[in-house]
Each structure stands twice: as C-alpha cells, then as structure tokens.
Amino acid sequence: MNDEAHHDRPALGRSFHKGHGLGNDYFVFEEGTSWRATPSAIERVCHRWEGPGSDGVVVLLRGERAPFRLRMFNPDGSEFERSGNGLRILAAYLFRTGRVASDPFEVETGGDRVRMQVHGADGRGEYDVSVHMGRASTGVEAVAARPEVGPVEGRLSVDGVGSLLAEFVSVGNPHCVVFGEMDPWRQLERASLDRLGPALTRHEIFAHGVNVQIARILSTDRIEFLVWERGVGHTAASGTSACAVAVAAVASGRLPPGDKTLVMEGGTLHVSVSERLDVVLRGPVRAVYDAELDAGFARVLGGGNLPGPAAAVEPSGASGSNAGEQHQAGGGEEAVR
C-alpha cells in the first residue's frame, strides 16, 4: 500500500490500550514518536495474526483536558468519522487514566464535538458509558449518495440481489438500513448479510462507501440486526449502527420516538431517539489490557522514517516486551495471556 501521500497522519507512541464494546474491539494510541499511522501501518497493527489485532484504532491527539481531539482508523487503513464503540472505549480509557471523572465531557472527532459520560465502573474492568451522538440526518444527501444513480421511489437496485427498500441515515458516518419485512432478510441470516453487505457498501450510489445493517423490529422498543461495517466487514456489534437502525425505524414511521433496545450478535445497546432525531447511545465497555509494541515492530511500521533521533525507539517503561505483549491492566484487572 502506498503511504507517500499520508504525511498528515499522526505519529504515535508504542503504548496502547485495548477495550471492546460487545466484542467490537478498538485500540487507543496516543501521539508519540515511534511510528506513523499510515494506511499500511494501521492495517498491520489491526491484523489478527501479524499484529495485535482489532476492529480499528482510536488516536488520542495531544491534550490532557477536554475537549480531547481524536482521529479514527479502520483495519484497512482508511480514516473514518466516528464509532460509537470506539468513542466509548476511549471514554473508559480516559476515566482509567484519571483525565475524566463521572461528569460529562466533550471530544472532537470528524469535525464535530461529541459529549460523553462514564456513569460508573464495576471494579472488574467494565464501564457504563453513554455518548450523545448529536442529531441524525436521513435521506440521500445525508450519506453523500449520488442522486443520479438512485434510489427510485425509495428503492435501490442492487446487482445480484434485486430492488431493496433502504433507509439512509447519518449519525456522523453513513449507514444504509434494510428492514426484514420480506424474505430473504426476514430471518437475519449470516448468509444474507454476506450477500447484501459487500454489494451495498461498494454500491456506486455511495460516494464514500456505507455501513450496512439488516434489521428486524421485534416490538415497539426492541430491534435486532446484523452489521456489515465499511472498511471492516461483518462485525458482532457496532455503536453507530445501533444508532442508525433506531433512527431509521423512527424516521420511517415504523416505531415511535423513545428509548430502544438494539440487539446484536455481541449483545445489546440502548439508544434514545427524540422526535427531532437527537440520539444518545449507552452500554457497557470492557477494558481488556494495556500493552506496548516492540521497538523493532514499530520500526517495521515505519517509525524509522519519522524525523529526529527519537523516531526509531521510544523510551519504554518495561523491558523485553514483544509486539502485542499484554501487561497487567490498571484497576486490579488480571493480564490476558
């Protein structure tokens, strides 16, 4: 992958934190001098066998107090606007490191300010975190779709699939929601997701790609769905996808505004949608481990190309660490071996 055009990507340190929201896992890295977050470096770090492995990277830019500035990257190296789970994992990390308490605080990501709050921790590495996602928007313009390509009367033509009734939603990033009101989507089978997800996320109508959800309404306050994430593929959970599905249900008149429970393969999240489509996401985050990339691995990622003598090796607080080595996390949690 050609990284020459990515000098604007931040330089990062070797230390990182890993957490997950219902199985959707992210790394949190802070700015440093060891390696640069180029597409190929991010791809290798997120690789499940050749790196520590995750569904994405949240970069905390320099700053010790709110509003904290962030950038987010997919496993394929692309940058994206926001992730509900990534934001909540970052909130738990800030809480763990003492930079926030239980009061609401703000972060800046994708050009927007987002308000978050850590409501509590159970002492065993689980945190209850909410994110005020802002006001959602719907329709073709919301997802930067090309109107000349479609849809026609709300239906989108998909090669190899047919004509689908699709709902377009933006909650800071673009989503396409298909409700299971007719076969083959009614059963929410993985085979249906594997067929529809790639076809929709790469559909010519979407200028910047799209996240895809196949959803089924269970009651007035409960929806289940499957997720195909842009730049990731199938994932067991997604915070912004949960928000998008809830908004699509309300905006289309399928459900009234209010509190909704969103059921995914990884578990459940809670989403509140107002009449004006203001959205709040809340749910658990699990801290997994704190670790450090090996100095040699950081050089392989491109750290040696950074200016200055500190580029090749960043001072380490522990000796003999390996790429992805898992140290004991704070708060009395046991290290994952």
Residue listed under structure tokens 């997950």: 20
Q: Is 55 exposed, middle or buried (0-12, 13-18, 19+ CB in 10 A)?
A: buried
Rounded distance between C-alpha atoms, residue 109 and residue 91, angstroms: 13
Q: pLDDT of 109-118, one tens digit each? A: 888 899 999 9
Judged by DSSP in three states, 124 sits in coil
Q: Tell me the angle at which helices 239-251 and 84-96 cross, rounded to the nearest 10 degrees.
A: 130
Q: pLDDT of 266-299, one tens digit each? A: 999 999 999 999 999 999 999 999 999 999 999 9
Q: Residues 6 or more apart from 130 whose CB is under 8 A from it?
A: 88, 116, 117, 119, 280, 281, 282
Residue 150, pLDDT > 60, answer yes
The partner residues of 337 in beta bridges, in order of sequence, read: none
Residue 256: cis peptide before it, omega within 30 degrees of 0 = no
Cβ–Cβ < 8 Å for 22, 55:
no
Amino acid at 4: E
> pTM, whole model, 2 decimals?
0.83
Residue 42: both structure tokens together: 């991010």
Q: Is 157 exposed, middle or buried (0-12, 13-18, 19+ CB in 10 A)?
A: middle
Rounded distance between C-alpha atoms, residue 79 and residue 84, angstroms: 15
Residue 65: both structure tokens together: 């107090």
Cβ–Cβ < 8 Å for 175, 138:
no
Domains observed in the chain: 11-130+287-327 (3.10.310.10), 137-276 (3.10.310.10)
Q: pLDDT of 12-64, one tens digit each? A: 999 999 999 999 999 999 999 999 999 999 999 999 999 999 999 999 997 77
- Kindly compute the dihedral angle of the four CA atoms of residues 178, 191, 204, 1, in this order, to the nearest 10 degrees: 130
